[in-house]
A and B are shown apart, each in its own frame.
Chain A
Amino acid sequence: MTTIKQAQTVARKFLGRNPDAVMVQRHIVLKPVGHILRAIHLKRTIDKASFDPDWGVTYMFAPRRNGGIGWDEFIQRRTRHSWRIDEPGLDEELAERIEEVALPILRSITSIQDFMDLTASGRPLFPHWAAIPARRLLFEAALGDLEGARRTCCLLWHPKLMPRNAPSGDDLLDVPQKLGPLLAEDDRAGIARQLTAWERQSAQSFKIEKYWQPSPFPIELQTSGTTPAPGA
């Protein structure tokens, strides 16, 4: 298991060449951080001397409490070996592999729609943004598809999706409870405010508050009354 310090040392070469990247604990984070977080996670492994670099993306506008990325993929070495921290030249290899494998994808994802497209692109480990109603609700709300979001909210009344005795404060409950009444009233500004509050909470959870910048959601940029269907 490598330490945070070791992870930060091995990332130094990459960071030196890519000024839009910053290190936060075990994550190399690409700036700017708006609605979408793009990062390379230098994960611990059971082996003390190794780490696993994963590139990944996630959306910030959910009440996150753990720092997991969710949509991530392992960055393989050129050889079949594991990433052993004490190997000479590993920092250079890591920088190159991130630049080859991860950066083109990560830099191409700048909007919520880009993220949605990525989750729909058929990567085997990436769940589709609409696969879980509670998540679909967030995206429909963010995009301003109020009718779709209300339908999803309805779906969430299903006792199997939303158990009656779920503990209060559970994220699963939080999203429909907070968004539902705002959706019922077409309160676009209120929805945007709520999503922004969740982004702030996620930024704290990922410890990237100082890099996160609040930015407008598509729902705010539309004139009221238009509810485009998201590209499902």
Chain B
Amino acid sequence: MTTISDMKRLAEPLLERNPDLFMARRLLVLKPVHHILRAIDLEQTLDPQGFTPQFGATYLFVPRTSGGIRWDVLIRATDDESWVMTNPNVQQMLTQEVEKVLPILRSIQTIDDFMTFTHAPYTFFEPWDAGVERSLVFNAALGNLEEARECCARLKELASTRSAGPTDDRPIVPEALCPLLAKDDRAGIARQLTEWEQISARTFKIEKYWQPSPFPIEAQAPEIDPTAGA
């Protein structure tokens, strides 16, 4: 099994050449870290000498309990090569191949960019809007309150949302967001999402690089509700 120190040693040239990269456990992470985490994961493999580099991105504004990136793509070894520590070319190959994908990752800056990324044609990603739970979170973050409320209503039909365990995001997220959505509480929603980002930053062990930043929902003027006070 390759260790974290093996990976750190391997990534040294990359870190030196790209000052916006830092290493957190087996993740090479791009700074700054706001709502979206962009990283290269040097994953363990069954082969004790091997590892698998994957590049990808994920959103931090749900309370993550596992450190998986989820929207990631394998970085292929060049012909006749493989990602094993015993390969004398492995460090050079890693530097070269990672630097090819860094521009893609650097282009993912906003929540919108990430949403576009999940629809990327070269991947097997789940699009951000494929599931109701995730659509709810994104619509809330973007300030699409009516769409988010539709998600809350739709979610009610899923019995599993009630029986899911407490570590599962599913009951936690709608239980926290939906009552805030009912009241158009933009500040409350933003506060909740920021709190979750902090939890996720801790899970990924990138707390000291994560910077809280405003959500689109905060940047919009609140809707004037003609029925308010009715």
Contact = CB atoms under 8 A, between A and B. Distances in A.
Interface stretch (A3-11, A42-50, A173-181): A173-181
Interface size classification for chain A: 20 to 34
B175 A153 contact: no
Residue of B152, B162, B227 ringed by the most chain A CB atoms within 10 A: B152
A180 B154 contact: yes
A180 B159 contact: no
A66 interface: no
Interface residues of B, number: 24
B156 A177 contact: yes
Nearest to B155: A180
Contacts of B149: 150-151, 153-154
Contact of A184 (B151, B174, B179): B151
Interface in A144-159: 147-159
A154 B159 CA distance: 16
B136 to A, nearest CB: 10
B159 A155 contact: no
B6 interface: no
A151 B182 contact: yes
A185 B156 CA distance: 13
Interface string B164-183: 00000001001101110111
Contacts of B146: 147, 150
A162 to B, nearest CB: 8
Contacts of B178: 153-158
A221 interface: no
Contact of B154 (A165, A168, A181, A229): A181
Contacts of B227: 148, 229
A51 to B, nearest CB: 42
Given A154-B178, A155-B178, A180 B156 contact: yes
B153 A184 contact: yes
B150 interface: yes
Interface in B162-221: 162-163, 171, 174-175, 177-179, 181-183
Contacts of B156: 153, 156-157, 176-177, 179-181
A183 B175 CA distance: 18
A62 to B, nearest CB: 16
Residue of A165, A177, A229 ringed by the most chain B CB atoms within 10 A: A177
A159 B175 contact: yes
B157 interface: yes
A186 to B, nearest CB: 9
Query: Which 5 pairs of residues, A with B, have the shortest CB-CB distance?
Result: A180-B156, A157-B178, A154-B182, A184-B154, A154-B178
30 contacts: A147-B146, A149-B153, A150-B146, A150-B150, A151-B182, A152-B182, A153-B152, A153-B156, A154-B149, A154-B182, A155-B182, A157-B152, A157-B155, A157-B156, A157-B178, A157-B179, A158-B175, A158-B179, A159-B175, A164-B162, A176-B156, A178-B157, A180-B152, A180-B154, A180-B155, A180-B157, A181-B154, A183-B153, A184-B153, A229-B227
Given A155-B182, A176-B153, A232-B230, 10 more contacts: A151-B181, A152-B182, A153-B149, A154-B153, A156-B178, A157-B155, A157-B175, A158-B175, A158-B178, A177-B156
Interface of A: 147-159, 164-166, 168, 173, 176-181, 183-185, 229, 232
